[in-house]
């Protein structure tokens, strides 16, 4: 006879660790199956190994961060709020801090401390953790669901699917959960990379690699239609653009039928109106005519970028500021306020922090995380068709949905 568990949780990431802890704390005989030799690999690599646990906002702020699908998270956040998530970690000895961007990190700056806290809680709750044991197949059976792993077949009355998405496949997330859910009848909204760097095929962009501009607005345009608009920090890279704003808009690029038909528009000085910038140039050209033209551009722009903008505006680099014409000013203002670049695509799943798409939300009861098609099945975390912006939103969604699944099984 196959072993029978009350609850089997598939995938020991953020969502699975909380789901298993909570289910076990509620007295369910719980088995957490993880394909890797250690759990929580993405927690360890997250936030530059510092783990941006959540965001300094309330539940409503998290919901809004996810856009219209965010309403799916109301019950999960009511079960485990942003505040309660922070308290959960603090009660395990992980003090947290809020950074200027609103991101919340452990004071120690160590993702390992976050994972250790979750593992302590899991162990205290009494769940059994099976490592290096990938689930290969998930099927309906009379007792509930049957799970096949390389060494055994198990039965579980309830299964929580927390296999994550399919980004950074080297970390274990290869989209297995989509396959299991589809086989059980669920609709899978086509997975695509999100929070991924953008590729741009322009040599001058590559030449600016390494330059970070802390405050820009980046828009994605489809003709005149604005598909995405984010303000924050931007990094030029050898392949194109990275940094929070580039990552945040990447979901609409990867979601477009023809990404290369889209245009990126960058406002390099969002704090300044076009007229103010024009006036700044006019004044400076009059007052400091002997300076090189690049020397009168606003200081917020690094010189290398300024020179590139002059080249783009077809103005020679040895050009002095004196005699700057109205037409030239307009060209310069445009290149700083509405710098347009053709986008090629994203760096793909290999470098996407999350996966957009996944199990269709309409088929999951947001009050319990139970599948509306297979009553023995619960789903939580990134396997669902939910992806949030950078800043701790994705972990918060994984923690809260995982917790609610553990409360419900
Ligand atoms: C580089 C990087 C940095 C990130 N930084 C942040 C950050 O700072 N803040 C933030 O909020 N988000 C961050 N994210 C996103 C965040 O890591 C994910 O949104 C979150 O981990 C999703 O949690 P999850 O539990 O749903 O899935 P995961 O954490 O991906 O866990 C899924 C688990 O399931 C296991 N698994 C998969 N298939 C099987 C199977 N068949 N059998 C058994 N086990 C299986 C996997 O090995 C994995 O351990 C980052 C992501 C990456 C890649």
List per-block mean pLDDT (blocks of 10 residues) for the chain, which spans 409 residues: 93 98 98 98 97 98 97 98 98 97 97 98 98 98 94 97 96 96 98 98 95 97 96 97 98 96 98 97 94 94 95 90 93 95 97 98 98 98 98 98 98
**Closest C-alpha residue for ligand 1 atom 30:** 164
Predicted pLDDT of residue 340: 95
Ligand 1 and 193: CB distance under 6 A: no
List, in order, residues 6 or more apart from 78 with CB less than 8 Å away: 59
Reference 46, options 102, 105, 96; nearest CA is 105
Check if the beta carbon of residue 9 is closer than 8 Å to that of residue 160: yes
Query: Domain limits of the chain?
Result: 3-193+354-408, 197-347
10 DSSP β-pair partners: 33, 161
pTM listed for this prediction: 0.96
For ligand 1, what atom is nearest to the CA of residue 17?
Answer: 25
Ligand 1 mutation pick, 9, 15, 46, 191, max ligand atoms within 8 A of CB: 46
Q: Is the CB of 389 under 6 A from ligand 1?
A: no
Q: Can you tell me which atom of ligand 1 is nearest the CA of 163?
A: 34
What residue has token string 């969502």?
15
Q: Give the three-state DSSP class for 326.
A: helix
CA of 34 to the centre of ligand 1 (A): 12
Residue 143, pLDDT score: 83
Helix axis angle for 14-25 and 393-408, nearest 10°, is 30
Measured by CA distance, the residue closest to atom 4 of ligand 1 is 46
CB proximity list for 329: less than 8 A, separation 6 or greater:
278, 281, 282, 285
Residue 176 DSSP one-character state: H
Ligand 1, atom 47, lies closest to the CA of: 172
Q: Are 162 and 383 in contact (CB under 8 A)?
A: yes
Q: Which two tokens stand for residue 261?
A: 């038909």
Q: What's the CA-to-centroid distance between 167 and ligand 1, angstroms?
A: 8
The 3-state DSSP class for residue 216 equals: strand
Render 87-123 in DSSP notation, one character per residue: HHHHHTT--EEE-TTSEEEETT--HHHHHHHHHHHHH
Please report the pLDDT score of residue 313 as a whole number. Answer: 86
The Cα–Cα gap between 6 and 158 comes to 6
The CB of 166 under 6 Å from ligand 1? The reply is: no
284 lines ligand 1 (CB under 6 A): no
Residues 6+ apart with CB under 8 A from 280: 272, 298
Ligand 1 in contact with 172 (CB < 6 A)?
yes
Q: Which atom of ligand 1 is nearest to the CA of 14?
A: 25
Pocket test for ligand 1, best of 8, 12, 13 (most atoms within 8 A of CB): 13
Return the pLDDT at 312: 86
Q: What radius of gyration, in Å, describes the C-alpha atoms of the chain?
A: 25
164 Cα: distance to centroid of ligand 1 (angstroms)? 5
Indicate if ligand 1 lies below 6 Å from the C-beta of 358.
no
Question: In the CATH hierarchy, which top-level class contains the domain 3-193+354-408?
Answer: alpha beta
* Candidate from 164, 176, 369, 389 with most ligand 1 atoms within 8 A of CB, to mutate: 164
Half-sphere exposure of 186 (CA within 13 A, CB side): 33
Cα(65)–Cα(400) distance, integer angstroms: 15
Is residue 127 in contact with ligand 1, taking CB distance under 6 Å?
A: no
Q: How far is the CA of 106 from the centre of ligand 1 (A)?
A: 18
Binding site membership of 353 for ligand 1 (Cβ less than 6 Å): yes
What's the 13 CA to ligand 1 centre distance in angstroms? 5
- Bridge-based pairing of strands 54-55 and 103-106 is antiparallel
Tell me if 45 CB under 6 Å of ligand 1: yes
Q: How far is CA 399 from CA 43, 58, 82, 390, 395, in A?
A: 12, 15, 10, 16, 6
204-220 CB burial, b ≥16 within 10 A, e <16: ebeebeebebeebbbbb
How many whole angstroms from 199 Cα to the centroid of ligand 1?
24
């Amino acid at each position: 006879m196959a072993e029978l568990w009350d609850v089997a949780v598939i995938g020991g990431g953020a969502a699975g660790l909380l789901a298993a802890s909570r289910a076990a704390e509620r007295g369910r005989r719980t088995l957490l199956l993880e394909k890797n030799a250690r759990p929580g690999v993405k927690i360890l690599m997250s936030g530059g190994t510092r783990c941006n646990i959540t965001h300094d906002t309330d539940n409503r702020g998290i919901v809004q961060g996810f856009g219209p699908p965010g309403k799916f998270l109301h019950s999960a956040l009511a079960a485990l709020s942003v505040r309660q998530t922070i308290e959960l970690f603090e009660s395990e000895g992980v003090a947290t801090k809020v950074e200027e961007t609103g991101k919340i990190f452990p004071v120690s700056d160590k993702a390992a401390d976050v994972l250790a806290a979750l593992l302590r809680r899991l162990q205290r709750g009494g769940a059994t953790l099976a490592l290096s044991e990938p689930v290969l197949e998930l099927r309906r059976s009379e007792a509930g669901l049957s799970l096949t792993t390389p060494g055994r077949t198990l039965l579980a009355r309830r299964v929580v699917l927390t296999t994550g998405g399919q980004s950074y496949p080297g970390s274990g997330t290869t989209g297995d959960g989509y396959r299991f859910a589809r086989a059980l009848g669920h609709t899978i909204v086509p997975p695509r990379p999100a929070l991924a760097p953008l590729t741009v095929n322009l040599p001058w962009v590559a030449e600016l690699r390494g330059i970070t501009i802390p405050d820009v607005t980046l828009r994605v345009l489809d003709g005149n239609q604005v598909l995405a608009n984010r303000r924050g920090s931007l990094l030029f890279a050898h392949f194109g653009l990275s940094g929070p704003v580039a990552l945040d808009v990447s979901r609409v690029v990867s979601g477009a039928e023809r990404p290369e038909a889209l245009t990126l528009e960058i406002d390099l000085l969002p704090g300044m109106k076009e007229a103010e910038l024009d006036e700044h140039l006019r004044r400076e050209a009059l007052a400091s005519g002997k300076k090189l033209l690049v020397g009168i551009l606003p200081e917020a722009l690094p010189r290398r970028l300024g020179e590139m903008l002059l080249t783009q505006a077809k103005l020679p680099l040895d050009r002095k500021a004196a005699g700057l014409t109205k037409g030239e000013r307009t060209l310069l203002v445009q290149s700083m306020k509405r710098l347009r670049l053709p986008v090629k695509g994203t760096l793909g799943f290999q470098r996407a922090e999350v996966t957009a798409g996944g199990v269709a939300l309409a088929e999951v009861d947001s009050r319990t995380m139970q599948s509306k098609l297979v009553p023995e099945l619960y789903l939580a975390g990134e396997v669902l068709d939910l992806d949030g912006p950078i800043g701790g939103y994705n972990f918060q969604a994984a923690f809260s949905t995982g917790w609610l699944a553990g409360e419900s099984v």
